[in-house]
Chain A
Amino acid sequence: MSQTVTATRVLSYLEDGKTLRSWLLTTDHKRIAILYALSITVFFFIGGTAAALIRYNLVTPQGALPSAETYNRLFTMHGVIMVWFFLVPAAPVTIGNFIIPLMIGARDLAFPKINLMSWYLFMAGGACALYALFAGGVDTGWTFYAPLSSNYAQGHVVAVVAGIFISGFSTIATGLNFVVTIHRLRAPGLTWYRLPVFIWSFYATSVIFLLATPVLAITLILLSFERIFHVGVFDPRIGGDPLLFQHMFWFYSHPAVYIMVLPGMGIVSQIIPCFSRKELFGYKFVVWCSVAIAVIGFFVWGHHMFVSGQSPYASIVFSLLSYFVAVPSAIKVFNWLGTMHKGRIHFNAPMIYALGFVGLFTSGGLTGLFLAALAADVHLHDTYFVIAHFHFIMVGGMVSAYFAALHFWWPKITGRMYPETIARGAALLMFLGFNFTFLPQYILGYLGMPRRYHSYPPEFQVLNVLSSAGASILAVAYVLPLFYLGWSLFRGERAPRNPWRATGLEWTTDSPPITRNFLVVPTVTSGPYDYADPHTKLADV
């Protein structure tokens, strides 16, 4: 073959280097996103296995698992892995890493090597946490309250805490990368108010990464000191205060839930306009609501502590602020509905998942109103009502949004179409299985079943069995995409540039994109949701 033939086609990022080394030492944001996606999926299924065993245990009142200790370790690891090794990173490091540069017309993130380092840090943290798991686990709950976790718990607390600490560096690096990228690498003409809500949401998420994660870091260091040396600032025996731990812990962990959900809101803000063929209703409101959620979210942490012994005056303030933080979310829901109004709606799998997000997030969010009401929380705190509330938002909402994103951008990421019918079926199955699993838990909580119980009074059995039955349906819904998405990699129809005829610069690139994303950096002249204009380039597929 002649060696002077110039390629008529620039290589896609998937073809550009086929060795393991080219993947493990890549600085291409798209490849790093794939590396992350693989890791995240593994963690999701480890955490999911823990969940399956939890629901299995709860089928009988005495607990079906052999020991309480096993159960306690299972729910702790479920929480730790799902929070820090799935939900906090998932959408930002997979979808965010892949899509943000494409969506703003950049050729890569601001700091590609730091991006790669963040993946290795994530893996190191995960390795620490998994070591602790397989060496026998931890049984403090994912919230690690002192003095239980510092002075009384058996198990590998410091190893898990170290894993979380290390992964925190990974998230800070990612947040830093995103903020600088969004500020400095936007294509010409792409002003702030022309940015898709997706970008605003990931920007807000990144700011929370930067400001909240360090507080968790110092809290974990102080906790580890107390655990290792048996003396610490949370120790009431020397005049310290366990409530200081709770304040510091929740100062991070409440904004953390907005880290988890804001990307989902950004994702559905792209999908709903696309499949309604209509611009996003109230763009500026949705933008500033995202910012408002991030800001107000820093001031509500005390609503986790209404019965903790915290001052009642502080509790009252936190309750009021918690109601305030719910308002921007409500506004967004109305805006998404307004987008559908008078649209031309298509029900592809991404849209079904996105609508599932809207419904389940709204349900979960409304139950947040219950918990923000002080006197109601006195009854409901630390019961299954709380578990149902956050699973509705995190799992019903955010996991649906994550799957929505995976399906929406799958053609772009892999160059293949997924099989639509089975995908829609999986989406509906997920919605069904989810409700079946978690709706009974609201009732269980009201009736008084506390959290973190390996055994329970027999009158709670029927609802527990219902919930566990739902969980088995949910498990199927999660496993299905593994199969058909995997299948599509080999046998899926080749994807055109813009199969959904969506707006957004990422859809102007090849599917999959070339390594440097754009041969020519585009110039932007229109708003982010220009579906109404028949002369847009959307006609090209």
Chain B
Amino acid sequence: MRKKAGLILFPKFFYFLLTVFLLVSLELPPSGLAQEYPTKTIQLIVPFPPGGSTDLTGRFVATYLSKKWGQTISVVNKPGAGGTTGVMFALRSKNDGYTMLMDVISAGTLNPAIEGKLPYKWDEPTLVARTNISPLVFFVKGDSHWRNLREVLEDVKKDPEKFTYGTSGLGGPSTFSIAQLLEAAGIDPTKVARVVLQGGAPTVTNVAGGHVDFASQNLSEVISMIQAKKIKGLAVTTPQRVKQLPDIPTSKEAGYPAYKLVGWNGIAGPANLPDYVIKKWDQGIREIMNDPAFVEDMERIGAPVSYMGPKDWKAVLEEEYKSAMKFAEKLGLRK
């Protein structure tokens, strides 16, 4: 008798608990009304592991916009394949504005230029707004006998095969900027040995240790070593000198204005993003650009803010993509 009672009571109780449970775990669906966007947590996909420059940028943007919109933006890291994994994840997500992408130059234009079989095209994601640029710095070993960029390039030109340079990855801004520079100096980039290292930090240490002769990396990666004189910066790729390292001439001042590639980060989303999403983010980013705290935070990580709206940005990127394609083929990188 007791057993039967148990059987009768239990299923009901069980279903009750289950229902309660489900309700607690469910997130209410978004209202879908444009004026009210965002009404729930937004996922900002960062296609790299935590701690890197794209990740930090994403976290800052997320923090400031969350405060402004009163809605959580949570950073989700989806690293892999040089950024491809994260981009693909974002592209495959619903285009309701609740999954956005913290894009970066390598995943945005450079990888598509190199990898013909990449699962996405450079213009597939919806481009919303650029958030910042990353100046690149050309540097050599701290106690090197080279005193400026011209001396380096002259030596290399005389005997290119004797020299090596390091890059932080196989096709990122470091590779392409060096290609720009060498070409401007009339040197065949394929003659100088390119050593592909894993990340900015090893590239810097390898130059500091003298294992490779020169490299071109993001500002944030080189500041402390330059200040400690373990490496010597000889040029920056931005049109003006960089605040944190005022002694380093611009590429134009150093005589090679063609060395001008800068990295960038920006917000993007899946294809066919609704207009109200684009507008909201565009406006939001423009607003935080005016927040001195945000500007300062970004400066600190070596990613000075540099807003550009969707249309202008797309045009710039198209240019960048074409130029990257050219170098990719010349360097024999394109597959």
A and B interact: no
